[in-house]
Structure 1
Amino acid sequence: MTEDFDFIHDEMDDNEGEEYLSRSEKKRRSTARQKIGEDLARMPITAVRSFGLPSALVAAFEEFHKYSKHEAKRRQMQFIGRMLREVDTAELEARLSDYHAGRASATADFQHLERLRDALMNEQEGALDEMLETYPSADVQYVRQLVRNGRKEIAAGKPSKTARTLFRYLRDIEEQ
């Protein structure tokens, strides 16, 4: 009879190193992993590969992108969520936030250049001065020529090729 109690005490000693998690906490963690998986699934597969995930997990994401049916995608997401249990999600969350911050910054830069190009093309007052103040190394004569040609194209009702050229020029200056 005492042998039975010894077994229970030995089992309790084995579980001392483990942290007790309530059922609700387990569900919260599972849902968080599922959301990380969904966030990764919305990205292009090339971006997912750049995160340094295990090859089996990358293959699961590649498989996910092949499916078109909702139910198949849902099952694959659950599978990915289970596989994410083996991955350090804290590091993965940090990488995801860096990725999203970089994309947001790139989008903001792109929109700023579009607004500047549109202001130049629409003859907004002070647009050229703003551009020269922001980018002092810009070739003013070339920018004026592009703006003049772009306005002629717009007046003629043609698609403005020079507006795209002006945008590329502004982007190149921004990168320098």
Structure 2
Amino acid sequence: MTEDFDIMNDELDENGDEEYLSRSEKKRRSTARQKIGEDLACMPITAVRSFGLPPALVAAFEDYHKYSKHEAKRRQMQFIGKMLREIDITEIEARLNDYHAGRASATADFHHLERLRDGLMAEKADALDDMLEMYPAADVQYVRQLVRNGKKEIAAGKPPKAARTLFRYLRDFEEQE
């Protein structure tokens, strides 16, 4: 009797061999693809278009961004997940990982520049030396002027225009490297 029973849940694994996938494993894979869809949905639509997705899937993401109601977005995300289950997502996963790594790196650079600017504004002893070591072409007189103006603005309760200018100045040097 069991020999006549045909398993309907066979799928192909990465090597093209048939393997039995339990219901739990199918659910895990489906959830993982759903998560990839959610990651893509959080990105701007121009970034989603750059992933080289099928046109129908790009259109589904465009529709997702048009909806404002929670339930409509949830249903569209379910549809996107279904579409992602039908395509190979290895390249999409790799590009998403690269995208997130680039964002993390940019955030770390941003925080580094903020700490450097805050150290300069607090006139820490080694902050100016650290800045000159990293950016030897920096104009020390201009940096000191911005620090001096920033302290005056803070004392007067004005917006930190000089501190922002100092941050932009440091960011420009960072981008040149």
* TM-score normalised to structure 1 length: 0.85
Tell me the equivalent position of 1:12: none
Tell me the equivalent position of 1:4: none
In 2, the alpha carbon distance for the partners of 1:36 and 1:19 equals: 25
SS state at 1:144 partner: helix
- Give 1 or 2: higher helix fraction: 1
CA deviation profile, 1:67-122 (whole Å, cap 9, x unmatched)? 22221111111100111123221111111110000000000000110111111112
Tell me the equivalent position of 2:8: none
Q: Identity of aligned pairs, percent?
A: 83
Tell me the equivalent position of 1:116: 116
- Which one is further off, 97-106 or 57-66? 57-66
* Segments ≥4 residues shifted beyond 3 Å: 15-18
Tell me the equivalent position of 2:7: none
Tell me the equivalent position of 1:172: 172
SS state at 2:138 partner: coil
Amino acid at match of 1:72: A
Amino acid at match of 1:104: A
Amino acid at match of 1:19: E
In 1, the alpha carbon distance for the partners of 2:124 and 2:47 equals: 39
Whether 1:127 and 2:127 are equivalent positions in the alignment is: yes
Tell me the equivalent position of 2:104: 104
Q: How many residues align?
A: 163
Whether 1:78 and 2:78 are equivalent positions in the alignment is: yes
Ranked by relative contact order (alpha carbons within 8 Å, sequence separation 6 or more), the top structure is 1
Amino acid at match of 1:95: R
In 1, the alpha carbon distance for the partners of 2:56 and 2:108 equals: 35
Tell me the equivalent position of 2:139: 139
In 1, the alpha carbon distance for the partners of 2:156 and 2:70 equals: 48
CA deviation profile, 1:38-65 (whole Å, cap 9, x unmatched)? 1111112222112111121111111111
Alpha-carbon RMSD? 1.9
Larger radius of gyration: 1
Amino acid at match of 1:38: E
Aligned ranges for residues 80-95 of structure 1 at < 5 Å?
80-95=80-95
- Which one is further off, 65-74 or 22-31? 22-31
- Contiguous gaps of at least 5 residues in structure 2: 5-10
Tell me the equivalent position of 1:19: 18
Cα distance, 1:139 vs. partner?
1.1
SS state at 2:18 partner: coil
SS state at 1:150 partner: helix
In 1, the alpha carbon distance for the partners of 2:173 and 2:128 equals: 14
SS state at 2:96 partner: helix
CA deviation profile, 1:9-55 (whole Å, cap 9, x unmatched)? xxxxxx99762333332222211111111111111222211211112
